[in-house]
A = this chain, B = another copy of it.
Amino acid sequence: MNLDLLYIAIEDELRKQVRRLAEPITQSFHDMLTYHMGWTGEGAGVEAQGKRIRPLLLLLSTAGCGESWLRALPAAAAVELIHNFSLVHDDIQDGSEKRRGRSTVWAVWGIPNAINVGDALFVLANQAVLDLAKSYPAEVVVQTSTIITNACLDLTRGQFMDMNYAGRGDIDLEVYWALIRGKTGALLAACTHGGALLGGAQEDRREAFRSFGEHLGLAFQAQDDILGIWGNENVTGKSVANDLLDRKLSLPVLYGLSKKGKFAELWQKGPIPPAEIGRAAELLAEDGAHEYAKQQAGELTRRALHALEAARPDGEAGQAMFQLANRLLKREQ
């Protein structure tokens, strides 16, 4: 399957949806959105646009159920707009000045405008979903909208936990999984679930697609946590052990803290000096956190692939889904 064609169609649909703001009186508002989407301004281009994984998964799910992905394009645009709405607000909430190598929206136009840019991306996502009414019965539009909206509520829940629990030393693994499910799993599940619905799949097949998206998200996140501590800088593009420096309460760290061993002792003393990060990563591994996290990521990967097999995506789209899943889940450490 020629994914390039899908990428072009996704970008085209996204531009069309965002263009609703391209009136003369709100032209510079439109500019803020097109900047964030990676189409205009300094550093614009493919690198700045992100990987568009969510719309791709949605369209492949539709095509994998034997339907044309063309009709599902507005939904693909919707999930990508929601992802980007959450990124714009996230960057304010985290105080991140850079994303994909460029200044974030709030860093360029200030917090008040950035809040409004995020809000507008969310509204445009809602409008994109409603555009499905041009090619699907109203019942299907309502069902798709329900799937996506439920994922959005989970996003805000996950964001709440991230901002209010993640800074505390006493969160447990249960909270970690709820947080990851909200921030990463829910929207990916909505992509494959919604895609299958728009592909005309029956309920049990839709559920298999949904489960694939959710576990893909969880597995990816667990891997990301491992790479954030023991990853190879040259492969991930992140500096090694950044997560320990940032005191991110990732899966291995939470496991390590629960062990109350030497790593926990070091962590509880406060920020770890850069020179001791390597040693901290070793202590954490000695406490079994590396093994545990790899085992969790492996189990989630198995579940994701098992769900994908149960979903039986058809033809070239199906092949492309397995390839994509393998590419996302078998990243180099």
Q: B-contacting residues of A (Cβ < 8 Å)?
A: 20-21, 25-26, 28-29, 89, 92-94, 111-113, 115-116, 118-120, 122-124, 126-127, 130, 133, 137-139, 141-142, 145-146, 149-150, 152-153, 155-157, 159-161, 163-164, 175, 178
Is there an interface contact between B89 and A116, defined as CB atoms closer than 8 Å?
Answer: yes
Q: In the complex, A141→B92 CA distance in Å?
A: 34
Can you give 21 contacting A-B residue pairs, CB < 8 Å? A20-B153, A21-B153, A25-B157, A26-B157, A26-B160, A29-B156, A29-B160, A89-B115, A93-B115, A111-B111, A113-B164, A116-B163, A118-B119, A119-B122, A119-B159, A120-B156, A127-B153, A133-B142, A138-B139, A141-B142, A142-B142
Listed from nearest, the 3 A-B pairs whose CB atoms lie closest are A138-B138, A93-B112, A120-B156
Q: In the complex, A126→B152 CA distance in Å?
A: 10
Is there an interface contact between B130 and A160, defined as CB atoms closer than 8 Å?
Answer: no
Instruction: With CB as the reference atom, state the residue of chain B lying closest to A124.
Output: B153
Q: In the complex, A89→B112 CA distance in Å?
A: 8
Is there an interface contact between B113 and A163, defined as CB atoms closer than 8 Å?
Answer: yes
Q: How many copies make up the complex?
A: 2
- Chain B residues lying within 8 Å of A175, measured Cβ to Cβ, are 25
- Chain B residues lying within 8 Å of A149, measured Cβ to Cβ, are 123, 126-127, 130
Q: In the complex, A142→B142 CA distance in Å?
A: 7
Is there an interface contact between A152 and B123, defined as CB atoms closer than 8 Å?
Answer: yes
Of A20, A146, A149, the most chain B CB neighbours within 10 A belong to A149
Q: In the complex, A65→B5 CA distance in Å?
A: 49
Is there an interface contact between A142 and B156, defined as CB atoms closer than 8 Å?
Answer: no
Known: A28-B164, A178-B25. A115 touches B116 (CB 8 A): no
Instruction: With CB as the reference atom, state the residue of chain B lying closest to A157.
Output: B26
A149 to chain B, nearest CB (A): 5
- Chain B residues lying within 8 Å of A26, measured Cβ to Cβ, are 157, 160-161
Is there an interface contact between A120 and B20, defined as CB atoms closer than 8 Å?
Answer: no
- Chain B residues lying within 8 Å of A29, measured Cβ to Cβ, are 156-157, 160, 164
- Chain B residues lying within 8 Å of A89, measured Cβ to Cβ, are 115-116, 119
Q: In the complex, A133→B140 CA distance in Å?
A: 12
Known: A126-B149, A138-B142. A93 touches B116 (CB 8 A): yes
Instruction: With CB as the reference atom, state the residue of chain B lying closest to A179.
Output: B25
- Chain B residues lying within 8 Å of A126, measured Cβ to Cβ, are 126, 145, 149, 152
Instruction: With CB as the reference atom, state the residue of chain B lying closest to A116.
Output: B159
Q: Which one of B92, B123, B142 lies within 8 Å of A115 (CB-CB)?
A: B92
- Chain B residues lying within 8 Å of A178, measured Cβ to Cβ, are 25
Of A153, A157, A160, the most chain B CB neighbours within 10 A belong to A160
A173 to chain B, nearest CB (A): 13
Q: In the complex, A123→B123 CA distance in Å?
A: 10
